[in-house]
Structure formats: structure tokens, C-alpha cells
Amino acid sequence: MIELDETKAKLLSTNPIEFKLFCAKTYLEDIPTFVPLDIYPQQKVIAEMIMECFLFYAVSALDITFQEINKKLKLEIQQNRVRPFTIIATLKINQTNESKTILDQVMKYFQEPIHTEKIVSDKEFNDAFIRYGDDGVGFFTEYENRKKIKYRHSWNRNNSRLWELRNQRNIITHESLLKNAGRFGTVMPKNYLRVRLVYNDNPTQVWDSAHYENPKEYYSEALNYVKQFISDVKSVLKQLEKS
């Protein structure tokens, strides 16, 4: 049972962003620190349900913030078309100081992850296989044997953390966030939170995702990014109102 004092309740009832953040934080508290195995389907279903609820509210807080940007900066984007990419495109055209400042904030978090791959030698590939040992997910996330050619994959996600969150929210409409890695070597199977680093209309590959054994840790960090982005945007918009 959620307990609220009158002051907090009034804030949540009048401030939609604070309400969404409060809901996200409430669900975050119940996200597990591990992903239940498939042999415990009830626990796994409950874990995924909680994660999907968290995503709904966390991304909703971002969506409302983008609507505020559109309104306060008079970008005149149709309400049903307000998305990070439409905001970015419009801000790049709008040359006001406020637009440039907001654009800088958006670009810190909502850029698509940058993927690079390079061909590696058989020796590097085999050495990595030995180094990873029984961590099959870790190995195949980084290395790939494609038609007898060995590749190493890497990602730059520094400016993509909230892009990832929105992408996950879209993915849950048609696939699970949780991945069964199966048995590898002598190690018992593990399940992971799978964070895809490409748009969800691309064919699935092992290397196109990051994998986390501790969903709570990942989503705790994500919510901090959400709060920081919203706080920074509010600060800029507040200065605009004073000018």
C-alpha cells in the first residue's frame, strides 16, 4: 500500500512529470536484482511486468518533457509528432540561444548508439574465446564468426542512454525484454535483461544488444539519467520564462 502525505499527494495530482517519476520510482523498487530462470515462469512474468510498468512511466515523463519543450520554445510540431528526432531536427533549424541550449541537452542522451566492427585474426578470436571462458553471452556480444570471417563488435553509448530507454519501451509491444542465455560449458543457464542497441525493426543478433544480470542496477542508473535530463531542461525553460 502506497502512503502519501497531503503535500506530496497535491504535488503529484498537479504535476504530471512528478507523478510519472513517482510511479517509475515505485516500480523500480520492485525490480529484481536478477532475472528469474525459465523454470520459474511465475517469477519471470512478474519481473517483466514490473519492468514494463517502469518503462511506461519513465518514458512518459520524458514524453511530457518533450511536449513542454515544443510548447515553451514554440516549435509548432504537431502534438502527435513530438518525438526526440523531430525535436532534434527542429531545434537544429531554430537558431535561438535557448534552442541551442536545449539541443545540447537532448543530444547528450538521445543519439542512436554508434556501432563499429572490425575484422580480427583467428588468434585474437580464439584468445578471446578462452578469456571469456564460460561467459558465452559476453563472448558472442563482442565477437562474431560470420561466414568464416571473425569480427569484433563495439558500441559507443555515451550519448544514447535515454534513446535506449525509449527503444526498450517500443520493443515491449512485440517481444520480451528478458533473454534466456541457455547453458554454456559447465555453467548453469542464466537469464539476462537484454537492451537492444538498434531499432527494433532490425533482425536480431547477439552482438546488437547489451546484456545485464542485474536489471535493478541498470534501471536505477537509467532513472537517474531521466531525472537529470528533465532537471536540466526545466532549468533552461525557467530561464526562458524570466527573459
- What does the pLDDT look like over 187-241, one tens digit per residue? 677 789 999 999 877 777 889 999 999 999 999 999 999 999 999 999 989 887 7
Q: Flag whether 197 is in a domain.
A: yes
DSSP state of 210: E
Q: Flag whether 1 is in a domain.
A: no
Q: What percent of the chain has pLDDT over 70?
A: 95
Q: Flag whether 5 is in a domain.
A: no
DSSP state of 117: E
pLDDT given at position 143: 96
How far is Cα 186 from Cα 174, in angstroms, rounded to an integer?
A: 33
Helix (H) or strand (E) holding 118: strand 114-119
Domain identity same for 105 and 220: yes
Domain identity same for 209 and 220: no
Domain identity same for 120 and 209: yes
Q: Flag whether 2 is in a domain.
A: no
Q: Any alpha helices (H) in 108-190, and if so which ranges?
A: 122-132, 136-142, 161-171
Residues near 119 by beta carbon (within 8 Å), at least 6 away in sequence? 149, 150, 151
Residues near 221 by beta carbon (within 8 Å), at least 6 away in sequence? 161
Query: Mean pLDDT of all residues in the chain?
Result: 91
Whole-prediction pTM: 0.91
Residues near 138 by beta carbon (within 8 Å), at least 6 away in sequence? 132, 211
Task: Flag whether pLDDT at 183 surpasses 60.
Answer: no
Q: How many domains does the chain have?
A: 2
Domain that holds residue 195: 114-160+170-213
Confidence of residue 185 (pLDDT cuts 50, 70, 90): low
Residues near 4 by beta carbon (within 8 Å), at least 6 away in sequence? 12
Q: Per-residue pLDDT tens for 79-106?
A: 999 999 999 999 999 878 888 999 999 9
Taking a C-beta distance cutoff of 8 angstroms, is the pair 200, 175 a contact? yes
